[in-house]
Every structure is written in C-alpha cells, then in structure tokens.
Copies of this chain bind each other. A is one copy, B any other.
Amino acid sequence: MARRKQAVTIKHVAADAGVSLQTVSRVINKEPNVRPAMRERVQASIEKLGYVPSIAAQRMSGSRSYLIMALNDRERTIADWEKREGTDWVDQMMFGGMLTCAEHGYRLIVELIDTHSDHIERELLAAIAALQPDGVILTPPHSQNRQIVDLLDEHNITIARIGSLTGGPGLRLTMDDERAARLATEHLLALGHTRVGFIAGSPEYELSAWRVDGWRTAMAAAGLDLEGLLAESDFSLASGERAAVRLLDGDAPATAIIASNDQTALGLLNVVRSRGLDVPDDLSVISFDDTPVVRFGYPPLTAIEQPIANVTARAVELIIAARAGEKPPASPQVVPAGLVVRESTAAPKRRR
C-alpha cells in the first residue's frame, strides 16, 4: 500500500514562512523565546495552509502523545452497554473529557481494563505501549487499584484518580460523596423522617465508606439512633433487595432509605412493591445514581446527581497543567455532587 503522507507538514509551513522547522515547532508548542513578529508570521502561514500537527509524529519525537486515556472497568462497562438502560458514565466522561481535551489539542481515548484479573498488568502495559498516553483518568474501582496506579506512575504517566483518596501517586478528585450523602439524609430529616436507612455500597469501593459517613454524620447531628438502619450491598440489584428486607423487617423499620446506587435502589423498589407499599407514602427513597431508570421509572426518584462530566473535565485540565509543568494542587479537587428532588421523597405519612 502506498505510503500515505501528510498533506501539509511543518516543512511546508517553514518554507512558506521562510523560517526553520524549529521556529515553527516552537510556535506550535507555544514556547517562549520567539519574537512576536516571527510568531505572527508563522501563525499566518499555519492558518493559510491549514496546518495541523500529526499527533503520531509529535509522539514519535517528543515526550507528548497528546492522548489522554480514560480507563474504565471492562466488565461493568460492557454490562452497562449490553443492558442499554442508559447508564451514562462513559458518555459523561467523554462529554467532559473530549471537549476539554479538544481545547488543548489533546484527544481522549477510552480503554477498558479488567479489574479482577491476573493479566491486568499485561493488558495495561499493552495499552501503554500502543498508545503512550500522556495521562490516564481512573475511575473506581481502578482509581484505588494500587497495582494500576503504580504501574502508570513507573511509566511516567500523569494520573488523575477520581473517587479515591488512598495513598500512592496521582492527582485526586472526588465528588464529595460524604457531603452528598449528608445532603440526602438532611433532605429526609427535614421532611420529618427519623428512621432513615442506608444501603451501603460495595466495601471494595472507597467511596462506599464516605457515603456511609455522610449519612452517619447527618443522623448523629440530629441526635438520631442508627440501630438497624445500615445494610450492606455489593451494588447489585439482588443485594439491594436483601438490604431492603433487612431495613424493613426490624421492629422499627426505616421510613426512608438511601440506596448507594441505582441498582440497589431498584432492588429496594422491587421489595417495596412486592409488599404493596407505596413510594413515597409508605417509604421515601433516594438513589445515589441519577440514571434514566431512576428518572423515568415510577415514581421518578429523588437522587444524587453526580457531575461526572465536570470532574472528568477537571481531571483533564489537571493532567494537561501537570504536563505543562504546573505544580499539582496540594489537596484533592472537589466537584460536588448535588441532590435532585423528585417524587420519591415525602414526609412520613402513615403509621405502620
């Protein structure tokens, strides 16, 4: 096959502007030490010829690939895609990530990696070797996976970790899950609930604990007892059902329940329905994911809205800034999640 060549290269620009390649390169990379007049002349040629640098060539010679890799959990992502229930983690990451990347001449490329796998190292090394990304955005559970984080760090790749604050290298970002849980709890308390149950997320996720903390804090501030109000889950629908049974079967059942994600919220709703209970009359429900099932189901659930696009955008900015030599922020970056009130929460009406 014919060697496919770049239509207009740095050479053409250099020739057109009557300068050397280096000067053009310097202008492209916004390096200092170029006289304004020269810079303008080159810029004009670039525009005139419609020159755009080849990222492959940039990667080959320089230290930058202009590629940022968004690393997601393969199993979970594929499961979501297969279900077609509208879970939009990946979309929102692209939304925030792609657009922000574009502003800086970078591209976002999505990769899926198995979490629970012995060949995780091989997979990741392969992706690194093939792409040589400048930065990687990690989401849970990868963001707290020390093996992944360390491996990337050894390869001198800038890391942005969303939803993990544990040790190791990398920039940290959170959506302040603790605060979000607090907001949700306070919303229910304000409605008059005193027995607010909480379905904790999978203990394998750091943020599960943060959410429990938020709930606990809000309950404690109101002087309320937590006895029998905390149930575990692994984020699955089935575990949500089991948790719901536990929270509703005690002597003093919960009158409101916060679920740590949409699946457990759905499991909870299954149990509620099977018992002929009404939401929100008999039980108020809050989901920690604002996915379409949650929004369009009946009733539309009050939910925590996670600003995935915004954290990802922030992550991209941090990575690019770090590459540009800026000192990374000392503390974790917070892009707080909010609460969207819908029809699944109300004052506790009936006595049971």
Binding site for B on A (CB under 8 A): 1-4, 6-8, 50-57, 59-60, 62-65, 78, 80-82, 84-88, 90-92, 94-95, 98-99, 107, 109-110, 112, 122, 125-126, 128-132, 155-156, 290-293, 295-298, 309, 323, 325
- A63 and B3 contact, Cβ closer than 8 Å, known pairs A84-B88, A86-B292, A132-B56: yes
The complex is assembled from copies of this chain, and their number is 2
A131 and B110: CB pair below 8 A?
no
Q: Which residue of B lies closest to A126 (CB)?
A: B52
- A51 and B95 contact, Cβ closer than 8 Å, known pairs A2-B63, A63-B1, A296-B292: no
By a CB distance below 8 angstroms, the chain B residues around A86 are 85-88, 291-292
By a CB distance below 8 angstroms, the chain B residues around A52 are 125-126, 129-130
Tell me the minimal C-beta distance from A5 to chain B in angstroms. Answer: 9
- A94 and B122 contact, Cβ closer than 8 Å, known pairs A7-B155, A53-B130, A86-B86: no
A95 and B78: CB pair below 8 A?
yes
Closest 9 CB pairs of A and B: A86-B86, A292-B292, A86-B292, A52-B129, A296-B296, A56-B59, A81-B95, A1-B63, A56-B56
Instruction: Report the Cα distance A128→B112, complex, angstroms.
Output: 25
A57 and B60: CB pair below 8 A?
yes
Q: Which among B6, B62, B94, B156 is the interface contact of A110 at CB below 8 angstroms? A: B94
Instruction: Report the Cα distance A323→B60, complex, angstroms.
Output: 24
**19 CB-based A-B contacts, threshold 8 Å:** A1-B63, A3-B62, A4-B63, A8-B129, A50-B125, A52-B125, A52-B126, A54-B130, A56-B57, A56-B60, A78-B99, A81-B309, A84-B92, A86-B86, A86-B292, A91-B91, A107-B109, A107-B130, A298-B298
